[in-house]
Amino acid sequence: MYYIGVDLGTSSVKLLLMDKQGTVVKTVSKEYPISFPKPGWSEQNPYDWYEQSVAGIRELTVGIKKEEVAGISFGGQMHGLVILDENDKVIRPAILWNDGRTTKECEYLNNTIGKGKLTEYTANIAFAGFTAPKILWVRENEPENFQKIRKIMLPKDYLAYRFSGVHATDVSDASGMLLFDVKNRCWSEEMLEICGISKDCMARVFESYECIGHLTEEAAEKLGLTTDTAVIAGAGDNAAAAVGTGTVGDGSCNISLGTSGTIFISSMTFGVDANNALHAFAHADGHYHLMGCMLSAASCNKWWLDDIIGTGDYAKEQEGITDEMLGSNHVFYLPYLMGERSPHNNPLARATFTGMTMDTTRTDMTQAVLEGVAFAIRDSFEVAKSLGMKITETKICGGGAKSPLWRKMIANILNIRVCVLDKEEGPSLGAAMLAAVGTGAYETVEAAAGQIVHVVDTIEPDAEIAARYEEKYRQFQQIYPALKPVFDSIAQSSF
């Protein structure tokens, strides 16, 4: 039997076909546009997700007997607001995870409602990308659209609805809405009341590995599959990536270098960071996790090389960065192109280069971009360490993880082992694994990870390089606090 994993990303949908042994049979990627109607805004058309996913699945399953596709599941960009009317039609473009328009709403939630209450209700505080502040924004700025709302969905869940006809979500993705009681794995009635939303507007909540239904006749015909194909709830992209890297159970760590960057630490028990610098979410394995999320990671490198330098040859740009240069760069980069979430929670933060002189080279600046992302990940890593977590190694995934140089930087900047896996598909593989669990091929998510995920290389930190980076990290830590008043001033002058 075969299992399809759908990774509904920000720039494209990545689809994967896996057999029961965990062999990746085929992958397909389909792109779709993203719009930025105003500075700091980020939107997409959910119909594009559906059309490109349908096209991708048809391409993915060419030559496969349709009766042998047992299940489909999802990993998806989190926090996005998809609102449907009484006919289940999309009311307005989806407001995405990296949209920064909700500063006012977040201030209201964090300061008027209060961070203590939010933590009590949801285990988290308000961040600009979360779903609840977006609902408040629509209520305030688009009241006619707010009145039409009959269902509130997340991006991947809209896709699952189009396939199954079921309004469903999973615990991991729901955790990032600021509407979900993470500890008790149910909707927070207090938060729904604050947002003016009826519980009837919310999807039914499932564990990530549970079956929500099967393909409708219409979906089966469009996809070239059968109505026996099960639709499994799936997970938010980071939880799905964690499954795909075997980051399940207690105390396991994964770093993802995708469009956004995350450090993900799985736990068997529920726990909250007292300062809310890390997110406390439900995990796709049936337990919990802590996660630090930065809004711009590999996208920083893409911006620098594609848009500023004007090259697509990423490997060539990194060739000149030698071991002797690691920890010795005089240029620093703050990777806040879209503001920042963990640990600063500041949508007004901006990206900067600092420390350039007349002898600064193109290579220095390329190195600084890569290092800046790694330093920002360490910011969240330090929070986890302050909670008493002893993390000696991490798995790594995402497009940026394909760079040997970036992996070496992560190992030395965090001073831990970095484990490279035999598969790099991340969320799409994790989604396929959830489909396999949901259809009975494996008894648990942990069992699937034990059979499918394998480490093929380990990067150990170098004592000398790590020592040099320790000093540089201390300098990096001083830059954001010094510039925060400047970011606030720039934002005020933009309004």
Q: Which tens digit of pLDDT belongs to each residue from 66-97?
A: 999 999 999 999 999 999 999 999 999 999 99
Question: Is the predicted pLDDT of residue 468 greater than 60, yes or no?
Answer: yes
Q: Is the peptide bond before 343 cis (omega within 30 degrees of 0)?
A: yes
Q: Are the CB atoms for 244 and 254 separated by under 8 Å?
A: no
CA–CA gap between residue 280 and residue 272 (Å, rounded): 6
**Phi, psi at residue 403, to the nearest 5°?**
-85, 115
Catalytic, 237? Answer yes
Does 191 carry a binding-site annotation?
A: no
For the cut 70, the answer to whether the pLDDT of residue 495 exceeds it is no
3-state secondary structure of 370: helix
All structural domains of the chain with their residue ranges? 2-239
CA neighbor of 57 nearest in space, from 6, 18, 93 = 6
What H or E segment, with its residue span, contains residue 445?
Answer: helix 445-452
**What percent of the chain shows pLDDT beyond 90?**
88
Structure confidence at residue 130 (pLDDT): 95
Band of pLDDT at residue 355, cut at 50, 70 and 90: very high
Distance CA 308, CA 303 (A): 7
2-239 in CATH: which number?
A: 3.30.420.40
Contact in structure between 282 and 185 (CB atoms under 8 Å): yes
Structure tokens belonging to residue 207: 């564990």
Q: Which one of the listed residues 7, 157, 173, 237 is annotated catalytic?
A: 237
Q: Which residue has the tokens 């079921």?
A: 166
Average predicted confidence (pLDDT) for the chain: 95
Rounded to the nearest 10 degrees, the angle between the axes of helix 463-494 and helix 362-386 is 90
Copy the structure tokens of residue 261: 């960057």
Mean pLDDT of 371-376: 98
Measuring CA to CA, how many Å separate 296 from each of 18, 258, 345, 347? 30, 8, 13, 12
Structure tokens at 10: 């920000």
Contact between residue 126 and residue 106 where contact means Cβ atoms under 8 Å apart: yes
79 is in an annotated binding site: yes
